[in-house]
Every structure is written in C-alpha cells, then in structure tokens.
Amino acid sequence: MRVPDSKDTRLLVAGIAAFVALMVYLAVAFVNTHASIVAANKVAPWTPYHAKLIPVPRRSRRGKVLSYDVRAVPTKTGSYGGLIPTLVPDPASGRRYAVGLWLKGSRRGGPVGVSIDEFSPGVNSVYVVNTTVPVTPKWRHFTFDLRVKGTWLGLGMYVYRSTGAGRKTWFALRGLTASLSKH
C-alpha cells in the first residue's frame, strides 16, 4: 500500500469537488421543490384537473403584487379546470350559501362549467349547482345561491371547460367567495 506524499493534493481536490457537486445538487433540488410549493400557494385553493394552473399576478399602479388570478390551460383532451375538494366544510342542513367568482376566457372554447356538490364518504355526491356560464375575454362576475339539504361533510367545487374547440383554449378565475347567504 502506497501512502501519499504530504504534497499530494489529489485526495483534497477530490473531496472539494464532491462537496461542491453535493451543494449544487441540493441547491437545484431546493429551488425545484420551493418553486412548486410557491406556485401552489399562488393558485390556492384551486387544484388542477387535467390542467396547468398558472398564477397571474395582479399588480397595483406602483407594481406591487396585490393578489393572483389563476389561468387554467389544458394538459389533456377532454375537460380541464380547477377544483376545490372542500369549499365549505361541514355545511349546516337547511342553510343557504352564496358562492361567487369572476371568470374570463379565450374567444375559442365555449362556456365554462361550474359544479358545486355536497359530499360525504361512502355516499354519492349531490350536485346543488351544475351549470355552464358564458365567458368572454373580459372579466364577468357570477354568483350561485344554493341550499344545503341533509347532513354532508362538505361542499366541493369544480370549474371546467372542454378542449373540444382546440387545445389553445384557456380560462381564468379570480375573487372566489363562499358565504352564508342573507336569504
């Protein structure tokens, strides 16, 4: 066995190279993981369904980011959009709710569907809202009033569009509200 000279620096250089490679690997992994977490927080509470949800910053006149709009772009054929598994947890039976949101969309693609359902484990969901609304390239506000019938674990929401008119369709969401109705 040969013992290296005290002037032989190959082992030291190899150690430094391995350390630098490890730091680069960790930095890239952190940036990729952190970027997806940050993007998910910007589109919250929406979860993609056969779509890429893109946060679009809304800025003040001075350039400060105030909030984010969410643009849904299809990733597969069929319907695509954003869903919220639990929009209202444990809704009281007989209570009325008002759900509002702003929508706009590409010229192609047709209307946007909105479904709000009541759900519980082991029970088929009941749609209390299942409709389509016309969208244009300008923002339009829509309000949906609903009454909860029976005991349910929560209300869920799915906003979607079909890719039938081509994959270059998109729609955007903003300003979601869900509150007890005054009716």
- The pLDDT tens digits of the residues spanning 8-64 come to 677 667 777 777 666 666 666 655 554 444 455 788 899 999 999 999 998 888 888
pLDDT at 35: 44
Q: Which residues contact 113 (CB under 8 A, 6 or more apart)?
A: 79, 81, 130, 131, 132, 133, 158, 159, 160, 161
SS3 43: helix
If one compares 175 and 66, the residue with the highest pLDDT of the two is 175
State mean pLDDT over 106-127. Answer: 89
pTM, full prediction: 0.72
If one compares 64 and 143, the residue with the highest pLDDT of the two is 143
pLDDT at 15: 74
CA 130 to CA 23: how far, in whole Å? 51
CA dihedral 51, 109, 65, 86 (to 10 degrees): -50
Q: Using pLDDT thresholds of 50, 70 and 90, give the confidence band for residue 128.
A: very high
State mean pLDDT over 137-164. Answer: 91
pLDDT at 56: 92
pLDDT at 161: 92
Please give the span between the terminal C-alpha atoms of the chain, in angstroms, as a whole number. 89
